[in-house]
Structure formats: structure tokens, C-alpha cells
Structure 1
Amino acid sequence: MTPARDPLLEVGPRLAICALLQGAKWADFATVRDTVGAGDSVISKHTRTLEDAGYLEVRKGAVGRRARTWFRLTDAGREALTAHLAWLTELGAFGL
């Protein structure tokens, strides 16, 4: 894995969403929203962008009569996150 800057992960809460999901099989919308500390519309917008990039898989379903949405990081999302975090670590090593 080569450290690489990923501009997609530098906007809004996308890095936080990916970091949260790296340790989860699936996380529901409310958990992501509450953990990241952003509103519904912000989470919706940024998870859609991550999904469009192939970083996030979205599953929709229901629990009882209530609609639910779950997210998980794809392999491409894990690779992008790992490379971006390595790039950030490298920056810190150079004092940037």
C-alpha cells in the first residue's frame, strides 16, 4: 500500500464516516449520524458521495414497519482510507 492523498476524504465528515465503518460489519444510519455528530441531510449527502465513489455499500430494509439504512465500507473504501491515513501520517513525520 502506497500512501496517497484522497481529496474525497478531505471534505465534510467523510473521513470520520469511513473511520467509523472500518471497524464495523454494518452500521445503521442513526449510529453513523450520532457518532459523527452531523445532521441527517449531511450524512445522506456524504454517504451518497462515498457510495458513488465505490467506497461505501448501502443496504436498505425495514425493522418492523420502520425503514432502515445500513452502511459498510467496501474493499475499495478500506484501501482508500488506509492509503489516506498513511499519507496523513507521513505528513506528520515531516512536520507538515
Structure 2
Amino acid sequence: MRSLGLEMLAGPLPGIYDPTGPRKLLFAFFAVMAETERENICESTLEGSTPRPARASTAAGPPVITDDMLHTVLRRRASGESSSRSTPT
């Protein structure tokens, strides 16, 4: 059977921790924290890979063309008017 251990290379508690000794609770805590961080990274990665149109856009402003504007343009086009503004030269 293999022996497991946790080695903290940096941070406030550097050192090697044995999961079977008196530090068993500390080892379990670190294992849970590592698993939680891994899940957060996976969720963030999957969220970032969602195509843009499927995600809700909170930065979107009002539409550029409203329904009233669209109906006006279609009515003018049907009557033969130009739907674009022309400026005199």
C-alpha cells in the first residue's frame, strides 16, 4: 500500500503533512479546499466556453432600431420613399 502525503511548498503552513497522524484533520481540510478550487476552475472554464449569444449580456443597451422605427422605414419603403436620410450638398 502506498503512503500518501501532502507537501505545502509555500504559504503560511509550508511542510509535509501525513494524513494518518495527528494532522489528519488538517490534511482533510486541505484536500477539501483543493477539490473545491478544482471545481471552481472547471465551472469557470465551462462558463467561458459558452458561446456569447447564449450568455446573458448585462452590458447591452437599448436596441439601435426600435419597432416603431422599423415600421416607419417599412411604410416609407412601401410608399416609394427613400428610407435613408440624405443631406443636401
Tell me if TM exceeds 0.5. Answer: no
Q: Which has the higher strand share?
A: 1
Q: Which has the higher helix share?
A: 1
Could you say which structure has the larger radius of gyration? 2
TM-score relative to the length of structure 2: 0.31
TM-score relative to the length of structure 1: 0.29
- Say which structure, 1 or 2, has more relative contact order (CA 8 Å, 6+ apart): 1
